[in-house]
Copies of this chain bind each other. A is one copy, B any other.
Amino acid sequence: MNTEFHAMLRLQAACAEKGPLCVGLDTDPSYLPPEVLRMYDSPAEAVLEYNRALIGATAPHAACFKVQIAYYEALGLRGLAAYAETLSLVRAAGIPVIADIKRGDIADTAKAYARAHFSGDFEADIVTLNPYMGFDTLEPFLEYVGKAGKGAFVLLRTSNPGMKDIEWLELSQSSAEAAGASHASPVRVLDAVGAGLSRIADRYGDFSASGCAPFGAVVGCTEEADARALRDRYPGLFFLIPGYGAQGGAARIAATLLDRAGGTVNSSRGILTAWMKDPSLELKKSSGSLSMKDIAEAAGRAAFSATAELLGAKKALAASSPAATGERP
């Protein structure tokens, strides 16, 4: 199995080069000013053109793009055509693209999902997956690591309040042992997921010092103590880190999660709606004369600022505790 060039390693390299920002294309038509929206025949077309302009403007600062399929499904068939085209645009630019699909299903159905999102109209480099139904549901996606260099992020600790309902529940001692997660205390449901992902990572060699496994984990940047514990517990897993920016997560917590194998920090709304708060656009906003170029450029500035903030936080963390950081050479 060729594990030299899988997408997660490409993404890790892009983060080392450009900084850790993942630009989220959770593009809702309502994020566009009305004067721009009405220039297009349909909301889906407007979304696609916004994505096109935004990819161009933010590419220098985007280690990757994450496309949240829910927003495109909500626009029906035209929305999914815009989704397919958006994936193509990012891939054509040579930038890794994450399909945020959070699928999870059994056997033949999981195979169909893997085929759907790792080939054909909706081909992405990396997908997000939901582990609730068990680790057998991940296998069809793992097959694409060897045959097409694909990767996946599996939900581990999400950034929403409902995280407490299932992910955060503590296991009995016997189940903790059965799940192979006795290293944590207390052992939670999310640790059973983490232990399963660690076993998958082990198939691809030792990533504790550098590199990363083709399957990573989604870990929200909402609690400092959690971030530290999870980062240290899974040193070889590359993280997809939501919750920064609009969801309130601090750059400092994100920096903690960027330690060891590292990760990519998602910002969606903060960049997509940057034009709303951009002081240089005040006049155009008040006169209703914003153009697509204006809002894409505002997104570009926001991506630059986010990258600078994240790199600054990473540097500050490294300076305060040099022993804890695992910078790759």
The yes or no answer to A296 lying at the interface (CB within 8 A) is no
Q: Count contacts on A: residues with CB < 8 A to the other chain.
A: 63
Interface string of A171-194 (1 = CB under 8 A from B): 111110011000000100100110
CB of A135 within 8 A of CB of B113, answer no
The yes or no answer to A86 lying at the interface (CB within 8 A) is no
CB of B179 within 8 A of CB of A192, answer no
CB of A74 within 8 A of CB of B167, answer no
Please name the residue on chain B nearest to A179 by beta carbon.
B169
List residues of chain B with CB within 8 A of the CB of A160. Answer: 106-107, 133-134, 136-137
Query: Which residue from B110, B113, B189 sits with its C-beta under 8 Å from A169?
Result: B189
CB of B134 within 8 A of CB of A132, answer no
The yes or no answer to A115 lying at the interface (CB within 8 A) is yes
List residues of chain B with CB within 8 A of the CB of A193. Answer: 166
List residues of chain B with CB within 8 A of the CB of A106. Answer: 158-160, 162
CB of B70 within 8 A of CB of A76, answer no
CB of A192 within 8 A of CB of B174, answer no
The yes or no answer to A316 lying at the interface (CB within 8 A) is no
CB of B74 within 8 A of CB of A116, answer yes
CB of B73 within 8 A of CB of A84, answer no
CB of B76 within 8 A of CB of A120, answer yes
Tell me which of A97-105, A255-263, A287-295, A306-314 binds B. Answer: A97-105
Interface string of A21-53 (1 = CB under 8 A from B): 000001010000000000000000000000000
Interface string of A218-234 (1 = CB under 8 A from B): 00000000000000000
State the Cβ distance, A84 to closest chain B Cβ, in Å.
6
Known A162-B137, A169-B178; contact A130-B104, beta-carbon cutoff 8 A:
yes
Please name the residue on chain B nearest to A163 by beta carbon.
B134
Query: Which residue from B28, B122, B174 sits with its C-beta under 8 Å from A76?
Result: B122
CB of A165 within 8 A of CB of B134, answer yes
List residues of chain B with CB within 8 A of the CB of A102. Answer: 103-105, 130
Among A213-272, those with CB < 8 Å from B are: none
State the Cβ distance, A190 to closest chain B Cβ, in Å.
10
The yes or no answer to A164 lying at the interface (CB within 8 A) is yes
Known A102-B104, A169-B179, A170-B172; contact A73-B113, beta-carbon cutoff 8 A:
yes
Complex CA distance for A139 and B175, rounded to whole angstroms: 30
The yes or no answer to A196 lying at the interface (CB within 8 A) is yes
State the Cβ distance, A166 to closest chain B Cβ, in Å.
6
Known A76-B120, A76-B122, A162-B137; contact A132-B155, beta-carbon cutoff 8 A:
yes
CB of A112 within 8 A of CB of B73, answer yes
Query: Which residue from B104, B132, B186 sits with its C-beta under 8 Å from A172?
Result: B186
A-B contacts, 30 of them at CB < 8 A, read: A26-B109, A28-B108, A28-B112, A68-B109, A70-B109, A70-B110, A73-B112, A74-B115, A76-B84, A76-B116, A77-B80, A77-B84, A102-B105, A102-B130, A106-B160, A107-B160, A130-B132, A132-B132, A132-B167, A133-B162, A134-B158, A134-B166, A137-B160, A137-B162, A165-B196, A166-B189, A166-B192, A166-B193, A170-B171, A171-B171
